[in-house]
Structure 1
């Protein structure tokens, strides 16, 4: 199998200036095809009858906006600028939707690390912790009077002095 092209060397054949939204979409599609054609490889050792072999296993390459920008030869600010232009805004939204969907579906199928993808996509399980009856949590210190706190601190200091003297 031929060695894959390193991602930083891969370039769109369309150049970095896109005269029409269709030209930008064609270059984005070229990136999507490149990602599919250039998986990552993992060296995985296998043992059989006492013999260890290292095999190269294909791993899915995740699409990213930063990877797309590198492929297109533009910076992120330029990409965002295209997103603000009439006609181009639909292309950038569609490309971002393709990238988001590819990562989400691959993570759901355990082809990409679900935790990393969930963080990048802003997905999170949120749990709100409350006290009894939904009230705010309070600590035991909040319920102590200043006198109680002072007495407990004095007790702890006395214990420390006693153990240091022994």
Structure 2
């Protein structure tokens, strides 16, 4: 290993468009390869395979991309303010939002187990014990530009990841 001229791994994708194309290929693969739920029907208990939707997952995407979740997260955290990296940041945010939305909507319509998906997405029922029944302030984002909303989404996702990682 000391003879290698460099250490570490090259980027999996030369640009953000390649990453998005590969992610879309994964999403299409998942859609075309549902799980088969086995059931037995009729008086003869004939076996029936029932196609069941498969949720998108970051782990599944990483397996498809031939990397692991830690590599993906480290790659995302190492992005800079360069134009090339901003492109990757936008695509990674879009990937995470696509995965989130497919799971959330799938659980909402009963395609996925709502309890499992809610835990996976970090959704919890909370009772407000801090405001003494007062209305919780909500923020009005209607005056923000698309770029500002995208930046807010990106920063919120980063903060949530850091919070989840640090406990």
TM over 0.5: yes
In structure 2, the partner of 1:23 is 18
Q: What is residue 60 of structure 1 aligned with on the other side?
A: 53
Query: For 1:93-128, what per-residue CA distance to the aligned partner results, in whole angstroms no more than 9, with x for missing partners?
Result: 100000000000000000000000000001111236
Q: Where does residue 112 of structure 2 map in the other structure?
A: 112
In the TM superposition, structure 1's runs of 4+ consecutive aligned residues that sit over 6 Å from their partners are none
Q: How many residues align?
A: 114
The match for 1:9 is none
Q: Structure 1 stretches of 5 or more lacking a match?
A: 1-15, 135-166
Cα deviation for residue 24 of structure 1 reads 0.6
After superposition, residues 1-166 of structure 1 pair within 5 angstroms as: 17-47=12-42, 50-84=43-77, 85=79, 86=85, 87-127=87-127
Q: TM-score, normalised by structure 1?
A: 0.64
After superposition, the CA RMSD in angstroms is 1.9
Which of these two proteins has the greater Rg computed from alpha carbons?
1
The CA distance in 1 between the partners of 2:71 and 2:44, in whole Å, is: 53
Aligned equivalents of 1:35 and 1:21: distance in 2? Answer: 21
Which TM-score applies when normalising by structure 2? 0.63
